[in-house]
Each structure stands twice: as C-alpha cells, then as structure tokens.
Amino acid sequence: MKLMTIGLDGVSPVLVEKWIDHLPNLRGLRNDGVQGVLESVVPPSSVPAWQCFATGKNPAKIGVWGFISIGPDKRVRKGRTTPDLGCFWDKCSQAGQRVGVFNVPGTYPPYAINGFMVSGFPTPPGKVWSYPKGLMSKIDRAVGGYEIDVPLTKPSEMRGGEEAYLAQVERLHRKSVNAAKLLLEWFNPQVFVMTLQGIDMVQHDFWRYMGNDGSPYSNVVRDWYVKLDAAVGELRRFAAPETTTLVLSDHGSAPVSTSLHVNELLRAEGLLKLRNSRNVKQSGAFYTKMRQLILRSLTPDAIRAIYKVTPSSVAHKLTVSAKLERTLTHLTENIDWEQSQAFSTGGHQAAIYTNLHQNKTGSNTEPDEVVSTICGLFNNLRHPRTGEKLRPVFHFRKKVFWGPYENEAPNLCVELFSEKEKIHMNPILGGGKMWSFSPHLSAEHVRQGFWSMVGPNIVSGLRMDASILDLAPTVLSLLGLGVSPDLDGRVLAEMFK
C-alpha cells in the first residue's frame, strides 16, 4: 500500500494534546512524523470539508456548500461527491492505481473507480451504497448487517437516552472498523481513504458532561478518543514499510450552550420579511411529529429494524438529514423574496446571503451595504444572560471563495463566540424567539482540526500547521502524480526528507 488515509471526523487538536498520554498511536505518529493544527474550510462542515480535502480546492471551485444548501433558484439541493470534482483518489484511479474509498461523508451515490467505494452518510435507506454493487451483500454478511449511520437519534428525545445512544454509536463504530479491515484484505488497495465518525457524534452530545465529575458521562469523550486511537492502531497493521499514513480531522469542535436564531435577528432589523407573518407555513410537520413519536416510543433496535424495511421514500423523511431539508424548505416557502434583503441558512458558520433581487420599491441596495449593516448587528450583540459582549468572526465572500461557483457563495459567513463557548446559529424561522439556551448540540464545529502524517519520506518529529487544502497536492506529489495549477493548496515540501 502506498497511502493510507484515516479520517477522524471532528477530532480536536486541543483534546488530542490534552489526552496525548492516553493516545499511544497518535503519539507515535507525532514522534515519527509530522503533526499540527489543520485549518478547515468555510464552512467547517463535513460536507464540503471532506470534498475540499480530497480536491485541494475551496467550495467555490467545486460547487459544494454543505449537506443541504439553497441554490440561486431558491431550491434546496444536496452536496455530493462526483467524479468530475477531481478528488485525488480519482486521479490515482485514472493512473491505474487500485483505490479504496470507504465511509467518506457525502460520497452517495457511489461511482465506478479502479477498486471500490462504500458511501458515507447521508445515504438514503434502501439505496445502493457500494461500488461494485455486489460488495453490499458481502459486507452485510461479514459484519452482521452493515450500518452507515445511526438513524433517527437524539439522546435527549430517544427511549433509553444516553446509554441507548452510546450503544448505537459503539455498534456503528465497530462495524465500520471491521468492514474497513475486511476491505483491505479483500482488495489490497494501493491508495485507501476512509473516515470514522464516532468522535463527532459523541462530542455533539456529550461535551456538556466534560469536567462534571458528578456525571456518569464525564469521561465519555475522552474514552472515545482512546477508542479511535486504538482503531488507528488496528488499521495501521495493514500498512507496509513503504506506506505513508495520513490521519486527519475535517474540522475541530468547541462547546456550545446557547443558540442565536439568526433569521429572527435579521427579521427584527427589517432585513428579512415574511410572506405572511401571522400564518407561517410549516414544511413536513407530520414527519417531524412522527419522528418525535418514534423516538419516544420505540427502542433503538426496533427503530433500526423498522427503518430497514420501510420504503426509502418514507424512511428518509424521518432522518436528521430530512429534518434539515424541511428547515431550509420552510425558509424558501415563507420568505418574501421581493422585500427581503438577507437571509441565513445557519450552520457552523452562519451562511448569510444578501441582495438576491431588486425589490418592489425599485431600490437595489448594494450587497456591501447590507453586509456592513449585518456586521454592525453582530458587533453589537451581547450574551442575553451574562451581558458579555460577544465576539464575531467574519468570513467575506470575496476573501474566502473564488472559482466558477463563487456567485453562489454566501456573501458573509459569521461565527460567534463568548469567552468560553461558541454560539450556535439556528436558521429556524417563525417562532419570534431570538435566543435559546437548550441547543440541539452541546458541541459545534470550528475550523481548527488535527492532522498527522508519517512515512518513509516524511521528516520525524516535525510540528507543522497546515490548511486542509494543502493535503491533496501533497498526497499527489508523494504518489508521483501531477499537481494541477488550479489547486488552492500547496505541496508541503518542507516535511519531505
């Protein structure tokens, strides 16, 4: 094997450093190779971060903005990995190398390569999730029913609570690791790329318990870092002396306990108008209520069994991904597009779009003026409970997006921080409430991720921070393939012997 890439979704460099004495495999990578902070893209979401990693290009060059986004036609669309994006594994495949791609977010539907591809989440239930197609049944039999994600779950709402959720994440993780090892045995790829998502799932719901010694869940996040470290060790046993191993996260994480309903902020300032403020149209309310009822009433095993036999068109509507689709569809159905100057799709960095049209009054406010107004709003925000002045971080379209799809990019992306936490940006519209102190998640993505690389041509013991966009050109250079001049990252030549 020439290259083994192991993605650890959501791993924080801060927590790796904090618990490094408990992480022998990551510590070994640090000592024998290079390690540092990996700056993710805007937005630091698994999609498009994994696609940007694989291509070395910013979102405006590949047209992928998230799992779900709203296009210029005001329609909800999904971010997907396709052969024309130019992922490094496709270039390796085209060069005749055997390639394996396993469980990378946003890789549904799978497509033909010189090797195999197993889709990551979100993958609709009942659909083909592998190339070649026959690989599905082989993996299913080998691991006792392969699972791509944990369906329908939110610990605080589900029957069995945290314990039931952790059991599902553990089962998902073990099947993922076992399937990855079997695929390495069956195909012996020269280039292998995979991700494990357990850390991200656990951090989202159990970060709140860290430091709370009275909670039975106080060490859950640390224990999962230990578990993922062990998985790295298991997988590296398949590496040969000539193998270069890259371990990375697509983004980091930070605690969150407060949500700002960003569209309600824009609405309060007159920048966003509703079609009918007294009768906000609801999207998919039936499926939202059904999902809540299922979570409260059925055990996780029963949910999983029903989920597998339910027609995919119905089962999909009960997933977390479909819930996000409904939220954005709700926006498109209720915004008065002729009178509004801005709206937000929320996210880990609130994506704000401005000046989409000429309104009825005939005025056509310049985007920069609207952006300036919105920046002023965020600069003056204070925490509603403590009175603390909040710290916004602004990412402007002209500075972070460039490429053929840049006109589809948000005009402004905003992160908001208190002294100790990040503020979640909730896009829900219509409730009239601007702040919430019970956000869906207790940890949220930040741009500071983790990376480490070790191999026969890599300098030992080097500390180096990098951009996630640097890794594709660096990998292509290591594999002796050409590095296209249109890549946004650079070859990290200083780490080569």
β pairing state of 191-196 and 342-346: unpaired
Largest CA distance in the chain: 69
pLDDT at 25 over 80: yes
In a shared domain, residues 268 and 294: yes
> Would the pLDDT of 365 be above 90?
no
- Alpha-carbon distance of 343 to 265, in angstroms, equals 10
Name which residue leads in pLDDT, 139 or 316.
Answer: 139
| pLDDT tier for residue 362 given thresholds of 50, 70 and 90 | very low
Residue 205 and residue 124 share a domain:
yes
Task: Give the count of domains, the chain.
Answer: 2
Sorted by sequence, the CB contacts under 8 Å of residue 356 that are 6+ apart come out as: 337, 340
Q: At 292, is the pLDDT very low, low, confident or very high (cuts 50, 70, 90)?
A: low
Do residue 209 and residue 241 come from a single domain?
yes
Same domain flag for 284 and 388: yes
φ, ψ at 115 (rounded to 5°): 155, -120
CATH number of the domain bearing residue 50: 3.40.720.10
Helix crossing, 220-236 with 198-206: angle to 10°? 180
307 lies in the same domain as 322: yes
What pLDDT does residue 458 have?
97
| Residue 320 clears pLDDT 90, i.e. is over it | no
**What residue numbers bound the domain in which 222 lies?**
3-254+446-495
The answer on 246 and 350 residing in a single domain is: no
Model pLDDT, residue 153: 64
Q: Which of 150-154, 163-167, 381-385 has the lowest mean pLDDT?
A: 150-154
Q: Identify the pLDDT of residue 228.
A: 98
Q: Are residues 450 and 439 in the same domain?
A: no
User: Is 356 found in the same domain as 345?
Assistant: yes
Do both 248 and 325 map to the same domain?
no
pLDDT tens, position by position, 52-71: 999 999 999 999 999 988 88
Q: Of the ranges 156-165, 225-234, 340-349, which one carries the lowest mean pLDDT score? A: 156-165
Grade residue 242 by pLDDT with cuts at 50, 70 and 90: very high
pLDDT in tens, 93-149: 999 999 999 999 999 999 999 999 999 999 988 899 999 999 999 999 999 999 998
281 shares a domain with 232? no
Q: Do 485 and 421 share a domain, yes or no?
A: no
Closest CA to 408 of 444, 458, 356, 347: 356
In the prediction, which pLDDT does 114 show? 98
Give yes or no for residue 313 having a pLDDT over 80: no
pLDDT value at residue 368: 87
Average pLDDT over the chain, rounded to whole? Answer: 90
Amino acid at the residue 83: P
Residues 285, 202 share a domain: no
Please give the average per-residue pLDDT across 205-210, as a whole number: 94
Query: Of the candidates 444, 459, 479, which is a domain's last residue?
Result: 444
Could you tell me if 446 and 255 are in contact, meaning their C-beta atoms sit under 8 angstroms apart? no
